[in-house]
A and B are shown apart, each in its own frame.
Chain A
Amino acid sequence: MNEHTVKAFDTDIGQLRGLISEMGGLTEDAIAKAMQALQRSDLQLAAEVRANDRRIDALEAEVESLAVRIIALRAPLAIDLREVVAAMKIASVVERIADYAKNIAKRVPLIESEHRIEPVSILPAMGRMAAEMVRHALDAFAARDAEEAARVWHSDPPLDDFYDSIFRTLVTFMVENPTTISQVAHLLFIAKNLERIGDHATNVAEMVYFAATGEHLADRERGGGERD
């Protein structure tokens, strides 16, 4: 894209995009570490994820004030306007994603028990899938790549299917091992959190698509949607 005649405008937009990238990086890291903590019952790592969330919250506030400043001082139009608005919305969605990661980390100590619960081993694959969606959605934002955003959008149904299958597995496990119910219930929530992370990554993809093209992705291809 051509540069603005007023170079400071490009600097502002660049800074805004930089903040989103930073938030995205920290959030991917939070998901990965939360899942690692779960897998290894690593309480220290789980505590680290919870502590790092504050930095992500602070970045969201920074994005918001920078976006407001750009709107006030630069009066952005067309793609610039869509991008600034998208950045503001994406920041709040990414902050939510990070909250889910934090919530997963919070559950790690509660699942702690003398004998390892076997179904824990099926969650990391789902975690990787959700984290990939987040990464691709934010890569699409960084590259202003509408097609990449559309691909992320299409990768949500497989994650939902994954969730459904984990749900059934966990319920079956609880029926067979009633003594583990309180711990496995946490795993259910974790699976749900990962499913929600995927939904939010889909939202980010929609915003990226709109910012880049001015069209709504959902209008282009109807289908999918949130599950409960």
Chain B
Amino acid sequence: MTARNVHVHYGPKQAIDGVSIDIEQDKVVAFIGPSGCGKSTFLRTLNRMNDTVASARVKGDIRLDGQDIYAPEMDVVQLRARVGMVFQKPNPFPKSIYENVAYGPRIHGLAAGKADLDHVVERSLTRAGLWNEVKDRLSDSGTALSGGQQQRLCIARAIAVDPEVILMDEPCSALDPIATAKIEELIHELRGRYAIAIVTHNMQQAARVSQKTAFFHLGTLVEYGATSDIFTNPRQDRTKDYITGRYG
């Protein structure tokens, strides 16, 4: 996935100023930066989540497999299946665990019949590391699970439609350390199968899960490089100050 010279305005206010970045297939990219730096806004441009914000205007070129995702002929529902998203707060549908995962493949016509759908649900829950915990209670409500399990359910829901890219917006900030570790382990396992972009305020988490890190500040991309370089030897003064806790 590639973004070139992306600008985002909310009404008169500029939130993103000329960001260009490549998100590679087999890598996890972490977006870090202080609150209001535009990292979440930018993440949301990647599957046109900002379309839902009336005042938001997006300029620039964002392509998925060479296809302009803001082109008029782009089917946004289809796009969001290819570029899935996981949010800060787990948001399972108020339906059964099974239905949470089966919903996407069903509406996108990805499963032929019940047996096939069962298979997709099992595979998705397995990949999300949740299958063993829920296989005996698939008809229980998704909202009855613990926070960490709900978040993994949301990841299972995103991967059920076989996306190419998964966007995660602070997926662990509402979770305890054990649940967080499970999500991080999951991110590690999903890498290679999906391109993953994760927004996080937790620098140690960015360091742990990503191969590349992008530092945003005041709507611009200040520095983008290998995570090991960003955290041991950043080039830009603003990055240095931020990651060493000297910012502002």
Contacts and interface: CB of A to CB of B under 8 A. Distances in A.
Interface of A: 1-6, 9, 75-82, 214-215
A77 B246 contact: no
B226 to A, nearest CB: 13
* Main SS class of interface, B: helix
B248 interface: yes
Interface stretch (B47-55, B133-141, B237-245): B237-245
Nearest to A2: B246
A218 B248 CA distance: 35
B132 interface: no
Contacts of A79: 240, 244
Contacts of A80: 244-245
B212 to A, nearest CB: 16
A121 to B, nearest CB: 48
Interface in B224-248: 231-234, 239-241, 243-248
A78 B203 contact: no
B210 to A, nearest CB: 14
Contact of A214 (B203, B232, B241, B246): B232
B233 A77 contact: no
Nearest to A80: B244
A78 B225 CA distance: 14
Contacts of B204: 75
A214 B233 CA distance: 5
A78 B248 contact: no
Given A78-B231, A78-B234, A214-B232, A5 B248 contact: yes
A4 B244 contact: yes
Contact of A5 (B207, B239, B240, B245): B245
A81 B246 contact: no
A77 B231 contact: yes
10 contacts: A1-B246, A4-B244, A5-B246, A5-B248, A75-B204, A77-B243, A78-B239, A78-B244, A81-B231, A81-B232
B240 A78 contact: yes
B232 A4 contact: no
Nearest to A5: B245
Contact of B245 (A9, A82, A214, A215): A9
The 3 closest A-B pairs by CB, nearest first: A214-B233, A2-B246, A77-B243
A75 B231 CA distance: 11
A21 to B, nearest CB: 22
B202 to A, nearest CB: 10
Given A1-B246, A5-B247, 15 more contacts: A3-B246, A4-B244, A4-B245, A5-B245, A5-B246, A77-B244, A78-B231, A78-B232, A78-B233, A78-B240, A79-B240, A80-B244, A81-B231, A81-B232, A214-B233
A55 B12 CA distance: 65
Contacts of B247: 5
A71 to B, nearest CB: 12
A79 B241 CA distance: 10
A6 B243 CA distance: 13
B34 to A, nearest CB: 11
B232 A2 contact: no
Contacts of A9: 245
Contacts of B207: 77
A2 B248 CA distance: 9
A6 B246 CA distance: 8
Nearest to A81: B232
A6 B248 CA distance: 11
Contacts of A76: 244
B231 to A, nearest CB: 5
A4 B243 contact: no
